[in-house]
Structure 1
Amino acid sequence: MSSVSENANLLIDHLRPLGRVVIAFSGGVDSSVVAAAAALAGLDSAIAVTGHSASVPEWQIDWAKRIASQIGIDHQIVDTREGERASYVRNDSKRCFYCKQTLYQTLATLAVRYDGAVILSGTNADDLGDYRPGIEAGNLASVKTPLADLGLGKQDVRELARHFKLDNAELPASPCLASRISYGVAVTPDRLDRIERAEAWLRGQGFSDLRVRLHADELARVELLPSEQDRLRENRLAERMNQFFRSLGFQFVTVDVEGLRSGSLNQVLVGFDLTRPSTSTSTGTAR
């Protein structure tokens, strides 16, 4: 087993021959480790690019700015406009593919401006074992995945983040807001905004890692760490949460007793054809 310093040198050496890179930079731990290694590799140029759209909460944009500044890498924020694509809005099982395809098309335009720079993502080795249609979009766009290529998984990446002394080394993973919406329910700016505000409210009450999932009929399903679920029963917090969520436009609110589970919406993919339109794609919001 390699030490963290050996993995750091391995990653830096892996990037050095690339010369010029454009990094798909969310501000999360994975892409931050790639950006930090690129900055240390002495490349001709390295730029971190953060996609901005309604599916990206503002706190993540703030983290991206903060970490890029800490690393000392050039940073750009670009509008990706995936919400203008009908294939993305309808939210079938390939939604992530269409989203990433839009992002990588934007990055490809930037790469040409930087003398044919190589596009990099923060995909790690453990991501390859999950349902990730976005990885397919990256493969088609010739995006390089240095962490996965070197066999570095989630735990390795966390260790590297600590090794590079990144401020987000302990930051929980937080996929885009669209990933909270159940397949077949249309992705709309209103729904994304409600999810962002609902999750911000929960964080404001002191909850740490969490998700607010949106299902058909405007049902909000809250996933919290099992160790934090009892807090909802204290000081009428569950009642306050229910009132606030309903004021946002959610019609039903429930707490998942199984707790936080990454990718829990993918469970419905087994045995279902979710590339077909659903009857739950209304874009309206009952208030």
Structure 2
Amino acid sequence: MIDQKLEQLKTLFAEMEMALIAYSGGVDSTLVAKIAHDVLGDRALAVTAVSPSLLPEELEDARIQAAAIGIAHKVVQTHEMDNPNYTSNPVNRCYFCKSELHDTLKPLALELGYPYVVDGVNADDLGDYRPGIKAAKERGARSPLAELTISKAEVRQISKQLGLSWWDKPAQPCLSSRFPYGEEITVSKLQRVGRAEIYLRKLGLSNLRVRSDGDTAKIELSPEQIKEFVLTTDLPTLVSAFQEFGFIYVTLDLEGYRSGKLNQVLLQKV
């Protein structure tokens, strides 16, 4: 089944003939970029959008992975932070983010002669609340992984099979996803969340989030990491570091990390 889906993915890109990939450096869009380059060569281009909601480390990862794949890579700036519909952080915030992204990528693709803009949306993403998918579709973007019902687990399996060293890279959505709906997003808030997550990663932790709730940082770790974290971490030093980043209070979520956790308030309102 995996081999069949991989061949279908290759066929899909062969039919496109040229493609511009909305490339974040995550495992999904990197697989799309890899297959596009394998099939299309220099007729595939990976484009990474840079804004305050992207960690500098993520951009560097994207560059390294693109170089390893061999695909041409371009960086553009997006300006979603100029849009109050985005910074006010409504429940459909991602719609405005992806609108800005694809309003940037589509004209670029047309200018450079690429008939298609494709992204890394996978089949699992269709089952979550993702208003950004609607914005992308409205602007004609295609999602090869979703079209071929390739799940996140299958993305990782294919990536591993192809020898991509980042096949198990943790998901890293934009930093704006760390804020509860309704809390205004600012550059300084994005920076403090980003610095806090980098701090935790340097401690050897992975698959984590630092959620912002006003002046409080809520640390989410995978459940199996929580006990060791509490027992072995110099907590006063960590709290002091987080306060230097701009937080006042630091808490640990005892449930642990769960993707899309902030969307549970939407379910409670149904």
TM-score (norm 2): 0.96
1:152–1:235 CA distance, 2 compared to 1 (3 A): closer
1:80 maps to a residue whose letter is T
CA contact (8 A) 2:42 2:71 kept: no
1:173–1:236 CA distance, 2 compared to 1 (3 A): closer
1:164–1:237 CA distance, 2 compared to 1 (3 A): same
- Percent of aligned pairs with the same amino acid: 39
Q: How many Å separate the matches in 2 of 1:116 and 1:162? A: 29
- Give aligned pairs, total: 270
Match of 1:192 among 190, 193, 201: 190
Within a 5 Å distance, the mapping from 1:1-287 to structure 2 comes to 2=1, 4-42=2-40, 45-215=43-213, 217-235=214-232, 237-270=234-267, 272=269
Once the 2 structures are TM-superposed, how far is the Cα of residue 6 of structure 1 from its aligned partner? 2.5
1:44–1:72 CA distance, 2 compared to 1 (3 A): closer
For 1:53-73, what per-residue CA distance to the aligned partner results, in whole angstroms no more than 9, with x for missing partners?
100001110111011111111
CA contact (8 A) 1:231 1:237 kept: no
Q: Secondary structure at the match of 2:40?
A: coil
Q: Secondary structure at the match of 2:262?
A: helix
Q: How many Å separate the matches in 2 of 1:43 and 1:233? A: 49
Q: Secondary structure at the match of 1:222?
A: strand
Q: How many Å separate the matches in 1 of 2:261 and 2:232? A: 29
CA contact (8 A) 1:232 1:238 kept: no
2:113 maps to a residue whose letter is D
2:247 maps to a residue whose letter is F
Q: Secondary structure at the match of 1:270?
A: helix
For structure 1, list consecutive stretches of 5 or more residues without a partner in the other structure: 274-287
Once the 2 structures are TM-superposed, how far is the Cα of residue 116 of structure 1 from its aligned partner? 4.2
Once the 2 structures are TM-superposed, how far is the Cα of residue 239 of structure 1 from its aligned partner? 2.3
Once the 2 structures are TM-superposed, how far is the Cα of residue 40 of structure 1 from its aligned partner? 1.4
Once the 2 structures are TM-superposed, how far is the Cα of residue 272 of structure 1 from its aligned partner? 4.8
For 1:245-281, what per-residue CA distance to the aligned partner results, in whole angstroms no more than 9, with x for missing partners?
12222122110000000010111123559xxxxxxxx
Q: How many Å separate the matches in 1 of 2:208 and 2:112? A: 38
Q: How many Å separate the matches in 2 of 1:43 and 1:73? A: 7
Once the 2 structures are TM-superposed, how far is the Cα of residue 167 of structure 1 from its aligned partner? 2.5
Instruction: State which drifts further: 107-116 or 136-145.
Output: 107-116
CA contact (8 A) 2:216 2:250 kept: yes
TM-score (norm 1): 0.90
Q: How many Å separate the matches in 2 of 1:5 and 1:116? A: 28
1:154 maps to a residue whose letter is K
Q: How many Å separate the matches in 2 of 1:139 and 1:84? A: 23
Q: How many Å separate the matches in 1 of 2:171 and 2:183? A: 23
CA contact (8 A) 1:18 1:43 kept: no
Q: Secondary structure at the match of 1:117?
A: coil
Once the 2 structures are TM-superposed, how far is the Cα of residue 29 of structure 1 from its aligned partner? 0.6
Q: Secondary structure at the match of 1:37?
A: helix
For structure 2, list consecutive stretches of 5 or more residues without a partner in the other structure: none
1:253 maps to a residue whose letter is V
* Richer in helix (by share): 2
